Structure 1
Amino acid sequence: MEFKANWVRPARDLGDVCPVFKKEWRLIKPLKAAELFLTARGVYEARINGKRVSGYVLAPGWTSYEKRLQVQRYDVTELLQEDNILTVTVGRGWMRSPMPGFVESEDKKRRVAQPCGLWGELHLLYEDGGREILAADETWEYGESGVRFSEIYDGEHYDAAFETPVWENVIKADFPTDNLIMQEGEEIRETERIGAKSVFKTPAGETVVDFGQEITGYVEFCVEAKEGDRIHILHGEVLDKNGNFYRDNYRDAKAEIQYICKEGRQTYHPVLTFFGFRYLKLEEFPKEAGPEQFTAVVVCSNLKKTGHLSCSDPDLNQLFSNIFWGQKGNFLDIPTDCPQRDERLGWTGDAQVFVKTASYNYDVEKFFTKWLHDMAADQRKDGGIGHVIPACLPGEESSAAWGDAAVICPWQIYQTYGNKQILEEQFECMKKWVDYITGTTTVPYLWTGGEHFGDWLGLDAPSGSYKGSSREEFIATAFYAHSTELLIKAAKVLGKDVGEYERLYENIVKAFRENYPEYLTQTEHILAVHFRLAKDLQKTADDLAGMIKRDGSQIRTGFVGTPYILHVLSEYGHSDLAYTLFLRKEYPSWLFSVKQGATTIWEHWDGIMENGDFWSTDMNSFNHYAYGSVADWVYEKAAGIRPLEEYPGFQKVLIKPMADRRLKWLEASVDTRNGKVASKWICTPEGIRYEIETAVPAVIEIGDKKMEAAPGKYTFWS
């Protein structure tokens, strides 16, 4: 589609104030249809005749803007009348906020200094067949809006009594248009609303609102006030051990709302930013506040829920809830690491460890496709992949298990949804990543040199380290092998000749075995088995089980080892131990945070320690989804629902549940591209009953029984 619009911008700098753009027009004859095409340098809210043009919030979303800036298309036919006004308020958004907050760079200064801009066209189709296009040009106007400040980290300031005093003509802006693409990702939407559970006074005398659930989004409040009354709200995730409001872990993010009231009853929520929070501290609020005045509005990518997990243990059910909430909170247009502090970035390592769970919980094909396109756009010329996508950490090295998202994520999306288009579109990016490792290593067939995150936040880390005790070059070489193997698989799906990479893979495996005959940590054992690099997989898995028992039947792993630990144990005859780790409630465990009152997944196993103190203030998110990757073990091993690799998209499945009598029952289901697959087991005095329902052909294994099954319902006993 060809467009006529120019970029336009305010003729003068408005400072912190968000500009509002305006176009007025009159319909001259009966209208048949109207479409609005719009994007901005920042995030925008568009209204026609006072009504929002769509439920899409924080448009145009976050992409690698200099290469890919999404344009939204709205059907606005029903909003038009004889006389019309289009208004578009534009905030800094991701493009022009100081992101990330913890790094200072010339590139960041450049991005923050960028001017605001608006691009848009209104296409009018009349009943007589005539067409008219109202494209952004110098006839459009701008002025100051009531949004006096808006930014991703620091929040929003709004003056409800403010009315734009002066409208001026915009000027054309020489911003590029060759980077404009039509909307590609999921829309960001307000998906749920949660009423406040209580308003209370803390021991320190603070007035705090509790929603009972950590969310990503913003608060909507209603208040009866006088013009000029002020409201000041701070956001927080947790209370301290004394029950007082706590927000030191937000670091430099102010995460605040400042609101100047108009006269009378009024309702407000921010529109150009978002927060991660469970609690609000009311620094200023007219009169005494009640819970009925506050609603938490959940904002995330508009994803269809496809997975279900439930069991007889209330603590595990809370864990499952935390995993789903963690995904919702961090799947806000990109897979972020956290939604609250001065970060909120698309960390590649977090995304790759969680992508399987993510794709079972929700339909994320479109979501990941858009993000992976940004990854390909931001890939360096040498093939390196940044730690975060969209890239905003210039000059960084590429790390094993982080950059490998370039290969792991598209392969998993193909496996879950069966659409090889993702492999076609990402193949060059995948190949360039493997070539990058080959070209930068200091020792052929190993990955040596460079800087890596290691087994990030591993519990076996030496004092003062975040990286765990697993050897960084061990991890790097293991992922070198894994990515090369997945690249070969992708090539075969696409009918490409990759003999060169098959030979490379053989040499990597050989070099790995020669250089790493022994494994020193839980994570080293796990990778050697899960990536099939050890000479004796069963012995290595047995050694892992022995090491875990000697460690007190505790996990000692971090971001790299944790996603695979239960899989390895279950696949090699140690499902009892896998369940022991899964059901453990003492620190360290998945259920420790549940017992501490968590409603989302934590960044650290002990974000709040056993004595009630905090792990730290500098890096301690309480909504960080990576460790929620345990859910894919629940789907695939505990409930036993596994897609067969040769039948991508769940065209045919293996159903092989692994029950444990420490639970009375467990059930899971996945609504796949080819139909729903569900598995449940119930422990009874007579034995274990298995209830299977599958809409696709399946291989069912229950104990010693194995059968080919057509779609249908089945019951087995063991």
Structure 2
Amino acid sequence: MTSTHAPTPGPAPARAPLTLLADALPITADPTDGRAPILSTRAELTQPASAVTSAELLATAHGIYEPTLNGSPATDTVLNPGWTVYESRLQVQRFDVTEQVRAGDGALEVSVPLGRGWWNGDFGFGDAASNYGDENAFLAALVITYADGSTQQVLTDESWTATDSPITFATIYDGQHEDRRLPAGDPRPVRAAEIDRGTLIEQSSPLITRHESRRPEAIWTSPSGKTLLDFGQNLVGWLRFTVAGPEGTEITLRHAEVLEHEELGTRPLRSAKATDHLVLSGDPAGDAFEPTFTFHGFRYAEVVGWPGELTADDIEAVVVHSDIRRTGWFESSHDGVNQLISNSVWSQRGNFLAVPTDCPQRDERLGWTGDIAAFAATAAYQFDVSDFLHNWLLDVRAEASLPPLSFVPFVVPDSLKLRSQGSDPIADRPEETPTAIWGDAAVWVAEALWTAYGDLDRLRAEYPGMVIHLESVERALSPSGLWDTGFQFGDWLDPDAPPEDAAAAKADKGVVATACLVRSARFAAETAALLGEEADAQRWQDLADRTLAAFTEAYVQADGRILSDCGTVYALAIAFDLLDEATRPKSAERLAELVREAGYQVSTGFAGTPFITWALSETGHIEDAYRLLLEDSNPSWLYPVSMGATTIWERWDSMLPDGSINPGEMTSFNHYALGAVADWIYQVVLGIRAAEPGYRRILIQPTPGPGIDWAKGAYDSAAGRIEVEWSVPADGGFTLAATIPAGVDALVVLPDGTQQEVTGTGEQITLA
């Protein structure tokens, strides 16, 4: 449909209002033999192309879409509109298409392939088949503004037509199949579909983009005769190439993170096929292939059916993730730690795709709340995640508010609620199941963002999610005031747990959950006070105080021992400041003793790992913290590095020393949670900390230890760029240089305890 409006005085508005979509009709088309449809329309400009001053496309979908105008892409982003809590928050994208509209020389051709994506791509474990709806839909308004101020609109409606794309199948888990021999067919009518316009919101999360490409570092033939490619880095995205061959030639691409027995190691994918197919048209110019309606987590690929010899110049891996900007860097004298940091960065890149996922390769790729609760502080140093994680926290609030929930679910968006009956291992949830760490993400992620960016308005928007979580926990507490009821993941993936039972940790689950509640209630009280909600501030502080008293009485002995006597319970009690002055040093010494008894191998899971080095270093056990960090036998942070890992593993031993894959069903090689130690490396080893939210005041406090002779790094903070470089010369002493943003005050604390106040100039200064 095309409509023309009379000129309006003054300049044209910079942004078309979302209300324009009220006049557009959501449309869809029935697929032919499962093929993804291409929705199209043609129109004529009402004025010459030279008179077009701007053109903007507003669009969204149930599914994923790729718009083109006059034969050119409307955007270089992919997998739009991403994934949110669709029932209440469907993002609308805005694309400047001025040049594409002008290029049509008076004609307009809009073409939009429409795929399944997260909307109805059969998500969930195994055969869960979690789908939001049976059909996909597209909704759009193209708004063209002319030099005289008049506008023309092209809206989705039933005048659009549909043809068939060569995509015969595409889901995120299983891959994309294309047959280039198939004709598009005659245009056929589209039909109206359903999109609730009340769910439409402005795009608030970074769009998903291609970031780089990598050629294979090695190509060889496996023992079974398959052609294998190694891209040298575990990454997320897809393969891209152009190839010519006889008509009907079928090329099959399989993807995996690791090799096992010299073949592609696909068992950890579980039911996800992660396989792309291309049938060639026979065109002598070749067929270009880029499967943008799926994505894979992989370092290795298997190629079958390639016509002729495959070389590194023929194919590339495209790295895809949400458009987050790198903000943190670290380098040291220890190559293993440098690789650990690289692994953490690459795991964040791969798993920050639409939502913060657990892993990007198997039949999961869900927004697990516990993973990001552990990793949020690290994430906010490595990349600018202010928009990405704020948007996700709004989804947390939205998901927890949907009936019948009144608690933070295990994953957000919560596709598990849509699973087929009896198909999901987390089955028959009780009406109320708040869960420590996982539910605490509503608080801890907000705390990480507040510390990193200091945005009070955003904290205000995130606060209701904290309230939902804490109120759900209040209802779940036992009469003793302890959080020792209901289902808990606990210290998930404790390395001493058997492969088949990741929750069988040493740490008592009640100790873990109750400790987490104290931390969350305290920050909620701080938040409420900042927002001027004094009654709430008192309410949450009272909850924290009561819970701490119950924790102390039930779990802490006079000699500093804590129930279940393992690294995680001491790490949480110390890091969350749950111990009085008399008990704290005793518990700290017991923690250090346990770390030494374990031979400095890691003994913690999701709950304890982010905090154990903090607990050691903050209580004077810096040497033990360093030795724990630098241990490379299994289990340890550097064991995967010694095994050639290029991302963080889900399990400490996702790959066993003999090169075989861990027998546990749940084994990923790109899972950032256990890389949360990077936050300690940035703040303690390097020494860059926020003394006030948003780095309005900075603390520079590097803490050297045995095994690292020098470190340097930088952080592009909300207040400006911070750089630190220190070394411990062979003849002793300590040198430190730093760059502080101009006009920003910083407290510098040297290893000998000397303190000095400085005001930044934006130039490097020598501090020791």
Same fold (TM over 0.5): yes
Which of these residues, 435, 453, 456, is aligned with residue 492 of structure 2? 456
Q: Report the Cα offset of residue 716 of structure 1.
A: 4.1
Aligned partner of 1:97 in structure 2 is: 121
Aligned letter for 1:710? T
User: Residue 145 in 1 paired to residue 182 in 2?
Assistant: no
Aligned partner of 1:361 in structure 2 is: 382
CA deviations 1:500-547 (Å, max 9, x no partner) are: 222222111111000002321110111111111123222211110011
Aligned partner of 1:376 in structure 2 is: 397
Q: 1:617 to 1:295 in 2, by over 3 A?
A: farther
User: Residue 5 of structure 1 contacts residue 137 of structure 1 at CA under 8 Å; is this kept in 2?
Assistant: no
Aligned 1:392-403 pairs, distance under 5 A: 392-394=415-417, 396=429, 397-403=433-439
Cα distance between partner residues in 2 of 1:393 and 1:283:
35
TM-score (norm 1): 0.96
User: Residue 661 of structure 1 contacts residue 683 of structure 1 at CA under 8 Å; is this kept in 2?
Assistant: no
User: Residue 434 of structure 2 contacts residue 476 of structure 2 at CA under 8 Å; is this kept in 1?
Assistant: no
Q: Report the Cα offset of residue 10 of structure 1.
A: 3.8
User: Residue 390 in 1 paired to residue 390 in 2?
Assistant: no
CA deviations 1:319-361 (Å, max 9, x no partner) are: 1111111100000011000000000000000001100000000
Cα distance between partner residues in 2 of 1:470 and 1:590:
20
Which of these residues, 35, 39, 49, is aligned with residue 21 of structure 1? 39
Q: 1:443 to 1:463 in 2, by over 3 A?
A: farther
SS at match of 2:307: coil
Cα distance between partner residues in 2 of 1:578 and 1:61:
40
Which of these residues, 371, 376, 393, is aligned with residue 350 of structure 1? 371
User: Residue 593 in 1 paired to residue 655 in 2?
Assistant: no
Aligned 1:245-644 pairs, distance under 5 A: 245-262=264-281, 263-264=283-284, 265-380=286-401, 383-394=406-417, 396=429, 397-461=433-497, 464-467=500-503, 468-497=505-534, 498-517=537-556, 518-519=561-562, 520-535=565-580, 536-616=583-663, 618-644=665-691
Cα distance between partner residues in 1 of 2:141 and 2:386:
29
SS at match of 1:156: strand
Q: 1:463 to 1:13 in 2, by over 3 A?
A: closer
TM-score (norm 2): 0.90
Cα distance between partner residues in 2 of 1:552 and 1:662:
16
SS at match of 1:349: helix
Cα distance between partner residues in 2 of 1:618 and 1:5:
49
Aligned partner of 2:422 in structure 1 is: none
Which ranges of structure 1 fall in alignment gaps of 5 or more residues?
none
Q: 1:444 to 1:23 in 2, by over 3 A?
A: farther
Aligned letter for 1:441? L
User: Residue 90 of structure 2 contacts residue 201 of structure 2 at CA under 8 Å; is this kept in 1?
Assistant: yes
User: Residue 249 of structure 1 contacts residue 616 of structure 1 at CA under 8 Å; is this kept in 2?
Assistant: no
Q: Report the Cα offset of residue 563 of structure 1.
A: 0.4
Aligned letter for 1:510? A
Aligned letter for 1:472? K
Aligned partner of 1:714 in structure 2 is: 765
User: Residue 224 of structure 1 contacts residue 266 of structure 1 at CA under 8 Å; is this kept in 2?
Assistant: yes
User: Residue 386 of structure 1 contacts residue 393 of structure 1 at CA under 8 Å; is this kept in 2?
Assistant: no
User: Residue 663 in 1 paired to residue 708 in 2?
Assistant: yes
Aligned partner of 1:185 in structure 2 is: 205
CA deviations 1:573-617 (Å, max 9, x no partner) are: 011011101111111111111111111110011111112221125
Aligned letter for 2:571? I
Aligned partner of 2:223 in structure 1 is: 203
Cα distance between partner residues in 2 of 1:267 and 1:145:
14
Cα distance between partner residues in 2 of 1:389 and 1:312:
39
User: Residue 233 of structure 1 contacts residue 284 of structure 1 at CA under 8 Å; is this kept in 2?
Assistant: no
SS at match of 1:408: helix
Q: Report the Cα offset of residue 661 of structure 1.
A: 4.3
SS at match of 2:677: helix
Cα distance between partner residues in 2 of 1:15 and 1:176:
28
Cα distance between partner residues in 2 of 1:433 and 1:103:
30
User: Residue 83 in 1 paired to residue 107 in 2?
Assistant: yes
Cα distance between partner residues in 2 of 1:603 and 1:7:
44
User: Residue 41 in 1 paired to residue 48 in 2?
Assistant: no
Q: 1:506 to 1:203 in 2, by over 3 A?
A: same
User: Residue 31 of structure 2 contacts residue 37 of structure 2 at CA under 8 Å; is this kept in 1?
Assistant: no
User: Residue 626 of structure 2 contacts residue 706 of structure 2 at CA under 8 Å; is this kept in 1?
Assistant: no
Aligned partner of 2:699 in structure 1 is: 654
Cα distance between partner residues in 1 of 2:230 and 2:635:
27
User: Residue 194 in 1 paired to residue 217 in 2?
Assistant: no
Identity over aligned residues, as a percent? Answer: 34
Cα distance between partner residues in 1 of 2:546 and 2:326:
42
Aligned letter for 1:620? T
Q: How many residues end up aligned between the 2 structures? A: 710
Aligned letter for 2:452? T
Q: Report the Cα offset of residue 714 of structure 1.
A: 3.2
Cα distance between partner residues in 2 of 1:684 and 1:448:
51
Aligned letter for 2:369? T
SS at match of 2:337: helix
More displaced, 308-317 or 8-17?
8-17
Cα distance between partner residues in 2 of 1:402 and 1:600:
22
Cα distance between partner residues in 1 of 2:393 and 2:86:
14
User: Residue 383 of structure 1 contacts residue 429 of structure 1 at CA under 8 Å; is this kept in 2?
Assistant: no
Cα distance between partner residues in 1 of 2:511 and 2:356:
27
Aligned partner of 2:174 in structure 1 is: 154
Cα distance between partner residues in 2 of 1:463 and 1:305:
35
Cα distance between partner residues in 2 of 1:174 and 1:552:
60
Cα distance between partner residues in 1 of 2:320 and 2:660:
30
User: Residue 119 of structure 2 contacts residue 136 of structure 2 at CA under 8 Å; is this kept in 1?
Assistant: no
Could you list the structure 1 runs, at least 4 aligned residues long, displaced by more than 3 angstroms after superposition: 4-15, 380-383
Which ranges of structure 2 fall in alignment gaps of 5 or more residues?
1-16, 418-427
More displaced, 203-212 or 629-638?
203-212
Aligned letter for 2:454? G
Q: 1:478 to 1:15 in 2, by over 3 A?
A: farther
More displaced, 656-665 or 9-18?
9-18
User: Residue 16 of structure 1 contacts residue 150 of structure 1 at CA under 8 Å; is this kept in 2?
Assistant: no
Aligned letter for 1:658? T
